[in-house]
Each structure stands twice: as C-alpha cells, then as structure tokens.
Amino acid sequence: MIRFASDEERAKRLATRAAYGPALIELASQGLPVVAVDADLSGSTTIGKFAASSEENARRTFNVGIAEQNMTDVAAGLALTGKIAFTGSFAVFGCGRAYDQIRNTVCYADLNVKICPTHAGISVGPDGGTHQMLEDIALMRSLPNMRVLVPADFAAAGAAIKLAARTDGPVYVRMGRAQVPCVYASDVDLEIGRAYVLREGADVTIIACGVEIDEALKAACALECEGIQAEVIDAFSVKPLDEETILASVAKTGCAVVAEEHSVNGGLGEAVASLLARQAPAPCEFVGMQDRFGKSGSFDELMVAFGLDSAAIAKAASRAMERKASS
C-alpha cells in the first residue's frame, strides 16, 4: 500500500538530487557493494555526502574529473569486479556526453551500472538551454537492457536509488535541481514496472512523471472545481511501462493527457501514445517541451513559459475530453 505525504510533509520542498548521497550511505550501511564514480560534481550531485560519511565510503568514491565518458567506463570496470556502480553528473553530460559509452559498454554488455544524473530538465533554471537536458528519457528508453525511472519527489528519488541498487543490470534514474513539494511518505517503497494511481477519477486520465506529478495533482484539483474528475497516474517507471494500469484507466475515462518535463519527442508521451495506438486508441493530449531548447530563468517561470504547469495540464485535459465527446 503506497502511503502519501502528510500535509506537513507536503509543505516541505526538497530537490530529488538531495536524496542521492543519503541513499548511497544507507545502501553501504546495509552491506551492499556500492561504489560512486563522479565527474567533479560531487557537491551538486550530493555524492560528496556519501564520500564524507566515512573513510570506507571515501574509498568507494572515485572522482575522474570532468570526463563523463571516462566516468562511465570506470563504472563499467568496477561493475565487472562485482560492484554496484553509480555514476553522477549533470544529465546533459552524464547521459548526453557519455551516450556512446552507456550504449556500447554498459548496455551492450548488460553491466550492473546505474546512470543517475542530476540537473535534468528545465529545473536547471538559470543555467539555460545548454544545460537543460530534455532528451535524456528518449535516449535512455531506446537502449536495450536499460530501465528508466523518473521519481516525483525526494522520497521517490531515494526509493529509486535503492531500487536501482537491488536491480541487476543498467538503470537510469532521472533527478533534478529544483526543490519540489513532497508527494510520497518518506518511507515509500516503489517497484520497477509499476505505475501508481494517486487520485481516482472517471472523466480523464492524467499520466505524468517527475516534477509534473505535483502539477498534475494541482490540475486535478482545479478540474474538480469544474465538475471534472481526473484520474492521476504516476508513471514512475517509464521503462518498463506499466501498461496494465494505464490501459485500465483509459478504458474507464476514455481519454488521456501525458505530462512530462521533457521533450514531447521520444519520452513518456510517445511511450503512452505507442501503447494506446497498439492496444486501445483513445484521444490523448501531450504536455511537454515542444521540440525546442530551453532558456535561462527560474524553474517556476520556465514551467509557465513553456506550458508545463498545472494550468496547461488542465487545458489539455479539457481538449482531450472535447475530442472524446466528438468521437
């Protein structure tokens, strides 16, 4: 049974990246052979907390400098010695710059390496379009052997890191810089291949991941004021996708919206669109970055500017319902 954050917990805002270092510390304390390979960003990724927690964990941490390709290959080598190897960098570098190594070294050999970059999406904010990685889910979900997890909040990010450690083979965990509200209780336990119905409804299904979960829940509240009951699903596991939960919801509501802080090309939206096209065609609207780069600004400003906020999701839900009514 999934437990959700209390009102007091929801008032807290924490970045998903903040869960990385503490989760590694907990895994090491449980005796798992975790190691962390960093590309000179241990403060930003919070891997530094792991290294500083004990002399033993300091020996388990390897800083290769600003060399993400090398970071990935070092992690692959450590995995071949029986270690559970985690990498850390900004998403634009940790999976973009190192894509060749992730593809041909980690995934091709199905190695036990966890690609867990932070600073994904437009939540990087003032760093601008060059650093706002909006294609990472598309890159990672297209790779054989790779699983893709996109946690909604601090608790889910911690659960994702622990889940990745206990899952053999490559796993991608997407984390962000911005502080976001808590959705789940601090001890939440999640599963690969599962999606979670956070709010039940009969009129429209809203499928989201990552920072869009809180926006989707806000949109559902706004829609309720208009007499519309929206069902909200956290597609935490983008790959493998929980097809059964999504299909059951859309069969009930007859239409859907997919919301993600990612390009509309190749991400969760296309995964859901493919599923519906193959098994149960239904009107579906997509909230995401519309085939463009980001720009500098605060996280909240950019969410509104690029149409990724709760108001945009509510409008998309209305469009989906109009299409359902006319079909």
Residue 4, helix vs strand vs coil: strand
Residue 86's closest CA among 33, 16, 133, 138? Answer: 33
Question: CB atoms < 10 A from the CB of 106, how many?
Answer: 27
Question: CB atoms < 10 A from the CB of 10, how many?
Answer: 16
The total number of residues written for the chain in this structure: 327
Q: Residue 68 catalytic? A: yes
Residue 290, helix vs strand vs coil: coil
Say if CB 17 and CB 44 are below 8 A apart.
yes
Which candidate in 9, 68, 215, 260 is catalytic?
68
| 288: CB partners within 8 A, 6+ apart | 258, 259, 260, 261, 262, 263, 264, 267, 269, 308
Residues 207, 220: Cα–Cα separation, whole Å: 11
Question: CB atoms < 10 A from the CB of 199, how many?
Answer: 17
Dump the DSSP string for 228-264. Answer: --EEEEE--EEES--HHHHHHHHHHHS-EEEEEEEES
Alpha helices (runs of H) in 112-228, residue ranges in sequence order: 136-141, 154-165, 212-224
Residues 206, 199: Cα–Cα separation, whole Å: 10
Residue 158's closest CA among 190, 183, 181? Answer: 190
Catalytically annotated residues: 68
